[in-house]
Structure 1
Amino acid sequence: MFILLVQGSRKMSAASGIIANSIKTKLQTALQTKHLDVINESYMHNVPKGAETHFKVVVVSSQFEGLPLIKRHRLVNETLKEELQNGVHALSIVAKTPDQWESSDQIVESSPNCRGGFGK
């Protein structure tokens, strides 16, 4: 099941498949998230319909306080290590502290169009 979110002129799928649910559960548990979006962007790529291979996560957690962006990303990647080794091909991460999220416009940039994997 997918829920379409419209951001700007693009549609993004709010994911609710098996892998998406695993990502959501793991991030919520490990990072005690204040806000979490798991967006399946697989439809933007040359994969079978219903695939769960390309994701964007928007993660807001107090655990990011005082951490540079690279360490936040590493924390998310470590949490999702199993998924990244077993089928998730791409993961885009937006990692913010609650203060950063509240002071922002809370709009997430759309991912660029797929270029075919070879810069086409």
Structure 2
Amino acid sequence: MLSKLEIVRKYWDLFDQADFKAVTKLMHDHAVVWEPNTREVFRSRSAFLRMHEANPQPWRIEEIDMLSEMKEGIIVTVVKAYSEKTPESYFITSFFTFAGEKIIEIMEYWSMNGEAPAWRNSQGFSEAY
């Protein structure tokens, strides 16, 4: 039996391999995925995974931080999604909720990686790293 943390790590490994069929085994039949940045909700595991299969961008996933279980058994992760076909990349902060040993809900926040607005650097508010 895998721990919740191990299940989430496997989830991201399978996403990195674009093995969405195998991801179905980790998610509850009635899983719901929320993406507040784009005001979307995927009300079924099937819809969420079909969307990823249809995505023309072959995303790779790099683990940045895998936090331990938070209150109520929620697992929080930060990963980087990138493609070798485009310079775009994103940080994804995700909150995984479980029903037994299956992921029942995911709340994902995607943020595009890029340059800070020039005015913030030029006025000395921040510096690039």
| TM-score after normalising by structure 2 | 0.28
Q: TM-score, normalised by structure 1?
A: 0.29
